Structure 1
Amino acid sequence: MNIHALRLFYYVAETGSVTKAATRLNISQPAVTSQIKKFEKDLGLTLFNPSGRGISLTPFGVELAKQAGNLFTYEEKIDQFVEDFRQGRKGKLRIAATYLPANFLIPGWAARFKAGHPEIEMVITTTNSQQAFEQLKHHEADVAFYGGGAQDKPQDIDWLELFEDELWFVVSPSHPYADHTVSLQEMMMEPFIMREEGSSTRERLVSLCTTYGLKPPQVSLQFSGLGEVIRSVMAGYGANFISALAIREYVERKQLCRVRVQGIQLSNHIAICTRSNESVPAALGQFIEICRSFPPEW
């Protein structure tokens, strides 16, 4: 079926006038009349009855106008659907994030974003850095949020660094090293409470020891969750090497204390990663702008 001709017929039926339909469609009246006559011929059915100067639909014409109305109403809905996605008003954001940004940054950013984009669905997956980058590369995620060493940056992604987050050694307030400065060798003699092998912070600690020719510390307690690690150190046993982003409030409340290590100052890079050579969808671009505009309040 000729959809253009169907549209001409529908507007004539809706307005009740060939002249009004031609004006609405910005084409000439003879062109409308000619194309509708051809449309009738192609259909093999009559759409209009002779009715003096006005128009009168045949029974078939009445029913076809109803069907055409349904079609073009749905077409308008599709056009609006496309425009909503284009403008970032609707859609879905799939976010892969490492532990730090997923737990301490994205919740606040997501709340701000959702306040202005209630019809955008957000799916946030917390994973390790390798899996976050893999999800991004294989189009299983639209964006990856990374917190860790810059050396892990893949070559085939765009990297937007938001800020750097310090890494601190912490102990309980009752520990002899609390609020003191010690050597790295002295610090590595302490038992540590850490997350599982493969966690970026634990790997950074091992790498630090390798750089200085020291044996990595004994990990006396190991947990899969950061909350358990923090509470165990607060209970008075062992030390931890951890992101300031995760521990700052405990230090400020004197529930934990820093240990400054001579000559050691390390940081994590908090970055937003997207696929190279791809345009960023409107909704994602608006979310990234919120992340850039509202850094952590320290």
Structure 2
Amino acid sequence: MNLHGLRLFHYVAKTSSFTKAADILHISQPAVSSQIKKFEGELDIPLFHKNSRKWTLTPFGEELAERAELFFAHEKQLEQFVQDYQLAKKGRLRITATYLPANFLIPQWTAAFKAENEEVEISITTRNSQDAFHDLIHFKADMAMYAGGLEGQREEVEWRHLFQDEIWFVVSPQHRLANCSVSLEDVIKEPFIMREAGSSTRERLISLCQTYRVSPPKIALQFNGLNEAIRSVMTGYGVNFVSSLVVKNYVDTGQLARVFVDIAPVKNIIAICTRKGEKPSPIVERFIRLCMENSKNNQ
């Protein structure tokens, strides 16, 4: 079927006027009449009853006009869908993130994003570093947010660094090392309370020991969640090696205390990751821009 002819017929039937249809379509009235006549000939079915200078739709013409109305209404919906997708107004955003950004950055940033894009569906999965990159690389997520060291970078991943934060050794205020300056060897002798194997911070601690040729610490307690590990340290037992973003408020309020170790500051890289060689969707790009703007407050 000639869709151009159907469109012309649709506007003629909708406005009951060849002249009005021509004005809407920005073409001449004779051109509309000529194209409609051609369209009618291609169908080989009469569309109009002609009586003197007046015309009315045939029964077939009336039914075709009703169906054309639905067809072009759906076309508008499709155009709006594409436009919404291009402007990141609709669609789906799947984020996989390591614990730090998932709990301390993403909640605020997704709330700001949803305020402007209510119809975008957002799902957030908290993973350790290995699992987060697995989800991204195997298309189970549209983007990953990572906190960790440079050694965690993958070749298959495009990195956008947001900012850095320090990793602190923290203990209970009642711990004998609270607010003390000590060597790495001294603090490593203490029992450590850490997250499970595979977490980037735990791997950073082991890498740090290797760099300074110190035996790795004894992991006395292991938790799948960071909050549980921090709460355990607060009771007075053990040391935790943790992002300052997570514990700064606890240190400021006296619920935890730092242990100052005589080594160069250890820092986390907070980064947004996408698949290398793949152009992110408009929704992902818009969310990344929001994150980059908001991350300036942490620099």
Same topology, TM > 0.5 = yes
Q: Secondary structure at the match of 2:144?
A: strand
Q: Which residue in the other structure is 2:237 paired with?
A: 237
Superposed CA RMSD in Å reads 1.7
Deviation at 1:39, TM superposition (A): 2.2
Q: Which residue in the other structure is 2:31 paired with?
A: 31
Contact 2:164 2:270 (8 Å CA) reproduced? yes
Deviation at 1:281, TM superposition (A): 2.8
Deviation at 1:53, TM superposition (A): 2.2
Query: What TM-score do you get using the length of structure 1 for normalisation?
Result: 0.94
**Distance (whole Å) between structure 2 residues aligned to residue 242 and residue 79 of structure 1:** 49
Q: Secondary structure at the match of 1:190?
A: coil
Q: Which residue in the other structure is 1:199 paired with?
A: 199
Contact 1:146 1:273 (8 Å CA) reproduced? yes
**Distance (whole Å) between structure 2 residues aligned to residue 8 and residue 243 of structure 1:** 65
Stretch of structure 1 that moved more, 10-19 or 226-235 = 10-19
Q: Which residue in the other structure is 2:116 paired with?
A: 116
Q: Which residue in the other structure is 1:273 paired with?
A: 273
**Distance (whole Å) between structure 2 residues aligned to residue 222 and residue 249 of structure 1:** 23
Gaps of 5+ in 2: none
State the Cα deviation string for residues 174-213 of structure 1 (Å, max 9, x = none).
1111000001111111111111122111111111111222
**Distance (whole Å) between structure 2 residues aligned to residue 170 and residue 292 of structure 1:** 29
**Distance (whole Å) between structure 1 residues aligned to residue 276 and residue 216 of structure 2:** 37
Deviation at 1:297, TM superposition (A): 5.7
Identity of aligned residues (%): 54
Stretch of structure 1 that moved more, 247-256 or 209-218 = 209-218
**Distance (whole Å) between structure 2 residues aligned to residue 280 and residue 286 of structure 1:** 10
**Distance (whole Å) between structure 2 residues aligned to residue 86 and residue 260 of structure 1:** 50
Q: Which residue in the other structure is 2:218 paired with?
A: 218
Q: Which residue in the other structure is 1:290 paired with?
A: 290
**Distance (whole Å) between structure 1 residues aligned to residue 120 and residue 12 of structure 2:** 39
**Distance (whole Å) between structure 2 residues aligned to residue 253 and residue 196 of structure 1:** 27
Q: Which residue in the other structure is 1:167 paired with?
A: 167
Deviation at 1:243, TM superposition (A): 1.0
**Distance (whole Å) between structure 1 residues aligned to residue 140 and residue 195 of structure 2:** 26
Q: Which residue in the other structure is 2:15 paired with?
A: 15
State the Cα deviation string for residues 135-168 of structure 1 (Å, max 9, x = none).
2233322211010001211223321111111111
Query: What TM-score do you get using the length of structure 2 for normalisation?
Result: 0.94
**Distance (whole Å) between structure 2 residues aligned to residue 176 and residue 255 of structure 1:** 15
**Distance (whole Å) between structure 1 residues aligned to residue 276 and residue 54 of structure 2:** 60
Q: Which residue in the other structure is 2:185 paired with?
A: 185
Contact 2:191 2:218 (8 Å CA) reproduced? yes
Q: Secondary structure at the match of 2:51?
A: coil
Which letter maps to 1:283?
I
Q: How many residues align structurally?
A: 298
Give runs of ≥4 in structure 1 deviating > 6 Å: none
Contact 1:17 1:54 (8 Å CA) reproduced? no
**Distance (whole Å) between structure 2 residues aligned to residue 220 and residue 268 of structure 1:** 24
Deviation at 1:41, TM superposition (A): 2.5
Gaps of 5+ in 1: none
Contact 2:163 2:298 (8 Å CA) reproduced? no
Which letter maps to 2:37?
K
Contact 1:16 1:54 (8 Å CA) reproduced? no
Listed as ranges, the matches of 1:55-134 within 5 Å are 55-134=55-134
